[in-house]
Structure 1
Amino acid sequence: MIVGNPNTRLREASVTKFELNLLARLVSDQGPVDWTLKTIFITGEQDDEYDDYWGEHELKAKENLEKAYNPLPEEVPHHYNERASRERRRGFPVAQPTSSTNAGASIHTGKEIGREQELVISTDDKTIDGRGARVHIAYGAGISIHFARNIIIHNLCIHDIVSGDGGMIRDAESHCGVKKASDGDGISLFGATNVLIDHLSMYQCFDGLIDVIQGSTAITISNCHFTDHNDATVLVASDKYVEDEKMQVTVALNHFGKGLAQRMPRCRFGFAHVINNHYTHWIMSAISGCSHPTIISLGNRYRASSDKITKEVTWRNNAPQEVWKSWDWVSEGDKFVNGAFFTPSGNPNANKKFGGDKILPYEPGRKAPKLSVFSGALECKPGNPC
């Protein structure tokens, strides 16, 4: 079936029964299903208008942005990580995973999901939990968290993601429509707030591993293992969207491993708290930015390669020094190995002026390898906690 813009060929997605069951568990009961064909736009800058459904979601997402934004960003990591750790469900019986988990849906054996279109999460208070099975999202489109809040993505392997051609998708029980082509991100956050991305193994996606854009804030990326990719993590994709000044992201306890080139993360605006990560490889740079982001690097271990021209951890996207010298980029407690070095700028006390009770405590950088030893998707065994 061909629908939408005649210049853009869209095809109807092939969806398995497993995927329908999984998607059904991700959406709330919102009454009768609206089968009216509608067009929705998920990624990129579009000249077309949203349908009424997405227009309402966008307005709600902007309200969530204002609620989640903290004018004192140093308080965000401590509050949000503490709350996320407290609320995340722990230790369910992996021998009999409940039907509300991916493990239950895949009947204990593990599952490889190859989607023609993205798995779109557009309703609040949802969790994708892969504990109890080895769940791979691969060789198809990835996950899009779109205008939603209070989302947890946990314990998945996401790799070999490709750009989707576009087609019919169901993003909620009450909404079905046509989606344009996806970028090929492993996970994209578009107008999302209060999101925890935890214990993922990610590599080889067509675009980015994780892209956080378009008014997303209060995001934590933790305990993940990233390998074999060029653009690992992008925080803000465009200088034109000034609402991203309110973006606040914590990147903690991750292992950035072999085959990574750059953007671990790359920031444009906002506040990035990079804490106790283990960097063992980069080809160009580990942390980069433009458009005056604030980057606080605490207790990370940076190991440079043997290449003499890639020893620097930081890169400011060719901005002149008279411009970037006022950006607050601070390194404290980091461990530098094999000639690695971090070029600071701005206020050297930017991470101290708020007080030790405001910002998430960190361990010395030499401990980062131990702290990240269990990064990536966990191997869960029956009778034992994950």
Structure 2
Amino acid sequence: MVFKGPNFLRWHFVLAIVITIFFTSKFSFAKQSKLMGLKMNMIDRCWRPNPEWRKHRQQLATCSVGYAGKMTNNIGKGLTHYKVTDPNDDPIKPQPGTLRYGASVIQGKVWITFKKDMNIKLIKPLLISSFTTIDGRGVNVHIADNACLMISKATDIIIHSIRIHHCKAQTPGMVMGPNGKVIHLGQVDGDAIRLVTASKIWIDHNTLYDCEDGLLDVTRGSTNVTVSNNWFREQDKVMLLGHDDGYLRDINMKVTVVYNHFGPNCNQRMPRIRHGYAHVANNLYLGWMQYAIGGSMGPSLKSESNLFIAPKVGSKEVTWRKIDHTNEDKWEFHSVKDAFENGAAFAVTKGSRVPKPNYSKEQIFQVVDVKSIRSLTRSSGAFQCSKTSIC
């Protein structure tokens, strides 16, 4: 029997630690290298390669592009970090730890995260306060099976990495308003997310499907909205931009729709636009039944470097126009560097004028070649993050 002294044992202990650190680092580096090897759009490239993103969640606010601009009003001095621990909901007296308490009761800059995976069934629509971020990264959060989200007369809001589905219409009733006070809310359609007189809104990396009415409505003077990296599927009416034909305030509406994945089994409105302007760029369209992009009341739209894959049977035409002879010559629907498969076709406006987004310095982004769209939209929808640092 050979006696192994304390120095020998100590050396082996140190060696074991070194080996563990080496292989752990090598494993993490391998994962990180794999992530870096993926083709990412410029929004994801801004934060995803950071292995410490959980410690620096607010970095996300600097990554938005399009009409929402940078969401830096949501971070900085005075920010409240709020964690949802309770999936229950009380629409009139929200309890601390619930989503409604963080989104409606707390005022000022609020960054909301979730302690664990959870399914949240809202009793009434969730009215989100200005300067609120709902950040579902790192967990699996579903808002489903009843009321869903509403942004009314609010600004500077981020909704990120949430699964929203099976939303149902709601009867009028009392609910906690976005100003922390109980208000009366009228009839609400069964939309996943509805914007009413809202501005500077960023909706990114969510999965939305199978709702009673639509998946996203931008209405009643809402503007400066970016809809990016979302997965829209299993839905008749997908995205409505503009309240109705008679609501003239929507002429000032500006919406960016970029890096989204539409389909399978989407029917129409990807988007449908009234009055205002939309820049629809670098999206993947996996079929449609009636049409992909449509509108009325002389809207303006620039479709740029999107991939339109027509269904095997049914309509091959991408666009639809509600004919109104008083506005017939005001239509501006243009296709620039789009790609079309399975016989897809785009009816463009006659003439050479293509409406520009006229982005500011903080809104502008590079539209990439349509050949990259499949890879750039591969991560669309809510993230399924690993338990390690990779998302």
TM-score scaled by length of structure 1? 0.72
For the Cα contact (< 8 Å) 2:130–2:178, is it kept in 1? no
The 10-residue stretch of structure 1 (164-173 or 182-191) with the greater mean CA deviation from structure 2: 164-173
1:216 partner amino acid:
S
For the Cα contact (< 8 Å) 2:258–2:280, is it kept in 1? yes
For the Cα contact (< 8 Å) 1:326–1:345, is it kept in 2? no
Secondary structure at the counterpart of residue 142 of structure 2 = strand
Answering whether residue 317 of structure 2 is matched by residue 317 of structure 1, we say no
Partner of 1:142: 148
2:387 partner amino acid:
P
The 10-residue stretch of structure 1 (348-357 or 296-305) with the greater mean CA deviation from structure 2: 348-357
Distance in 1 (alpha carbons) for counterparts of 2:357 and 2:196? 32
Q: 1:359 to 1:350 in 2, by over 3 A?
A: farther
For the Cα contact (< 8 Å) 1:328–1:347, is it kept in 2? no
The 10-residue stretch of structure 1 (348-357 or 216-225) with the greater mean CA deviation from structure 2: 348-357
| 1:167 CA drift (Å) | 2.4
Distance in 1 (alpha carbons) for counterparts of 2:277 and 2:310? 25
Listed as ranges, the matches of 1:210-359 within 5 Å are: 210-307=216-313, 309-319=314-324, 323-351=327-355
Q: Deviations over 1:311-365 (max 9, x none)?
A: 1100002446x95354111111111001001111054332469699896421122
Distance in 2 (alpha carbons) for counterparts of 1:353 and 1:184? 31
Distance in 1 (alpha carbons) for counterparts of 2:187 and 2:90? 12
Q: Deviations over 1:194-215 (max 9, x none)?
A: 0000001011111110000001
Q: 1:328 to 1:111 in 2, by over 3 A?
A: same
Q: 1:355 to 1:347 in 2, by over 3 A?
A: farther
Answering whether residue 185 of structure 2 is matched by residue 179 of structure 1, we say yes
Q: 1:203 to 1:296 in 2, by over 3 A?
A: same
Secondary structure at the counterpart of residue 251 of structure 2 = helix
Partner of 1:7: none
Answering whether residue 127 of structure 2 is matched by residue 116 of structure 1, we say no
Ranked by relative contact order (alpha carbons within 8 Å, sequence separation 6 or more), the top structure is 1
Distance in 2 (alpha carbons) for counterparts of 1:244 and 1:278? 26
Distance in 2 (alpha carbons) for counterparts of 1:213 and 1:178? 19
Distance in 2 (alpha carbons) for counterparts of 1:242 and 1:216? 12
Partner of 2:374: 369
Secondary structure at the counterpart of residue 23 of structure 1 = helix
Secondary structure at the counterpart of residue 99 of structure 2 = helix
Q: What percent of counterpart residues are identical?
A: 35
Q: 1:274 to 1:167 in 2, by over 3 A?
A: same
Q: Deviations over 1:144-190 (max 9, x none)?
A: 00000000000000000001223221124641123223111100000
Matched positions, count: 302
Distance in 2 (alpha carbons) for counterparts of 1:113 and 1:356? 38
2:367 partner amino acid:
Y
For the Cα contact (< 8 Å) 1:193–1:219, is it kept in 2? yes
Q: Deviations over 1:61-114 (max 9, x none)?
A: xxxxxxxxxxxxxxxxxxxxxxxxxxxxxxxxxxxxxx953322xxx2x11111
Distance in 2 (alpha carbons) for counterparts of 1:286 and 1:279? 8
Q: 1:258 to 1:270 in 2, by over 3 A?
A: same
Secondary structure at the counterpart of residue 239 of structure 1 = coil
TM-score scaled by length of structure 2? 0.71
Distance in 2 (alpha carbons) for counterparts of 1:353 and 1:160? 34
| 1:258 CA drift (Å) | 1.0
Distance in 1 (alpha carbons) for counterparts of 2:243 and 2:235? 18
Superposed CA RMSD in Å reads 2.8
Distance in 1 (alpha carbons) for counterparts of 2:126 and 2:263? 27
For the Cα contact (< 8 Å) 1:335–1:364, is it kept in 2? no
| 1:28 CA drift (Å) | 6.2
Distance in 1 (alpha carbons) for counterparts of 2:219 and 2:367? 27
Q: 1:374 to 1:302 in 2, by over 3 A?
A: same
Distance in 2 (alpha carbons) for counterparts of 1:148 and 1:356? 22
Q: 1:22 to 1:14 in 2, by over 3 A?
A: closer
Answering whether residue 236 of structure 2 is matched by residue 159 of structure 1, we say no
| 1:242 CA drift (Å) | 1.0
Partner of 1:23: 100
1:151 partner amino acid:
I
For the Cα contact (< 8 Å) 1:162–1:206, is it kept in 2? yes
Q: Deviations over 1:273-298 (max 9, x none)?
A: 00000001100000001101110000
Listed as ranges, the matches of 1:60-75 within 5 Å are: none
Partner of 2:112: 101
Q: Which runs of 5+ in 1 are unaligned?
A: 1-11, 32-98
For the Cα contact (< 8 Å) 1:267–1:288, is it kept in 2? yes
For the Cα contact (< 8 Å) 1:27–1:173, is it kept in 2? yes
Distance in 2 (alpha carbons) for counterparts of 1:196 and 1:355? 16
For the Cα contact (< 8 Å) 1:15–1:115, is it kept in 2? no
